[in-house]
Chain A
């Protein structure tokens, strides 16, 4: 019955992911991590892996959770579950209701949904940040090890992510691709946690 549960869980995720990409993180937090199929740390690692492999983040996560809990058929179930709502809804819109998203009722529902999604991702960011800075702490009263190096690293990475490089094709300046940021962070991570931290202690 694990297959049915996997399918149903990812069906819910597919149905309630609005805005794509990072909007899925809060849902995975409350549906997948709550089930014990993935740890929060694994989720963050997985975002990095998804950014540096081809394909959409949503499908990558679905496949990974499926394989690690139910093997090949688990992966098929999760991916099918994720895709089914989009397939049905978009098929109906493309075929019959071209103007559905302009209907007042749908519009006003999204008027409430959009800020909620922003709030949810902000919460996901805050809880992940707390977990990274105060390593492996469940509640705030247990704060012991503050990872100051992570805070410094965060500031450095934030400034690097804002650097714009001139584009050869047009006059517009483009931002660095996330892959470069991730590779750089990997190198910095080895340097900071493998060389600098042991030297400080």
Chain B
């Protein structure tokens, strides 16, 4: 009896190790193949995890993207941590995140030793003068896409303009502006809710007043 339970336990252990290895290996592959990071990675993760491995349904994947986008941290790390946790708990999260980080870490580590010399070559420097302009285009397109997807309220535009002005005028870390705007969002929604609440209360009161007067008139008629 005792031996039997031990056996199944050890079997579970090897099964778990195998699953951790599969998690690590899957995200290692994603980390190697994915160029450009972020949203490019989401498509790849979807193909591997939803279509091939069937670990998640496509609705779950959408939920994960929403969570990854609306929490701090790079999207690729958030998604891999989430899937790792869902599969094998904290050790799963560690394995998948390690897998997704390892390829870029090693590649950039290798590149960094000769990058500066590489950039100092005359023709490479010319090429990078052009490439810098292309990067500007990429950033502009990213901002425009973000703006198109976002809600365009007066409040949102004010916050965006406020942060731009503050950046130009002060040399504080952007972290303060992020904290201020989060607080502004909370206060704004609080006020909106309070206003709605008092309005609803007023409406209720007037309607009850009306009802009361109606009742009175009805009583009087009687």
Q: Is the CB of B146 within 8 A of A16?
A: no
Q: Is the CB of B134 within 8 A of A48?
A: yes
Chain B residues, Cβ within 8 Å of A118: 143, 146-147, 150, 160
Range of interface residues on B (Cβ < 8 Å): 35 or more
Q: Is the CB of B142 within 8 A of A189?
A: no
Q: Is the CB of A94 within 8 A of B35?
A: no
Q: Is the CB of A48 within 8 A of B34?
A: no
For window 124-182 of B, CB contacts with A under 8 Å fall at 126-143, 146-147, 150-151, 155-157, 159-164, 167-168, 171-175, 177-178, 180-182
Chain A residues, Cβ within 8 Å of B68: 20, 90
Range of interface residues on A (Cβ < 8 Å): 35 or more
Q: Is the CB of A91 within 8 A of B182?
A: no
The answer, among A17, A90, A93, A113, for a CB contact under 8 Å with B181, is: A113
Contacts A108-B186, A118-B147 given; indicate if A59 touches B36 (C-beta within 8 A).
no
Asked whether any CB of chain A lies closer than 8 Å to the CB of B15, the reply is: no
Q: Is the CB of B111 within 8 A of A49?
A: yes
The answer, among A90, A109, A179, for a CB contact under 8 Å with B81, is: A90
Which B residues fall within an 8 A CB radius of A?
Answer: 31-39, 41, 66-78, 81-82, 85-86, 89-90, 93-94, 97, 100-101, 103-105, 107-109, 111-113, 115, 119, 122-123, 126-143, 146-147, 150-151, 155-157, 159-164, 167-168, 171-175, 177-178, 180-186, 188-190
List 5 A–B pairs whose Cβ atoms lie within 8 Å, in order of A's numbering: A22-B143, A54-B31, A60-B108, A68-B112, A161-B138
Which A residues fall within an 8 A CB radius of B?
Answer: 12, 14-22, 24-27, 29-31, 34, 41, 44-45, 47-60, 63-64, 67-68, 72, 75, 79, 82-83, 85-87, 89-91, 93-95, 101, 104-129, 132, 150, 153-154, 157-158, 161, 177-179, 181-182, 184-190, 192-194
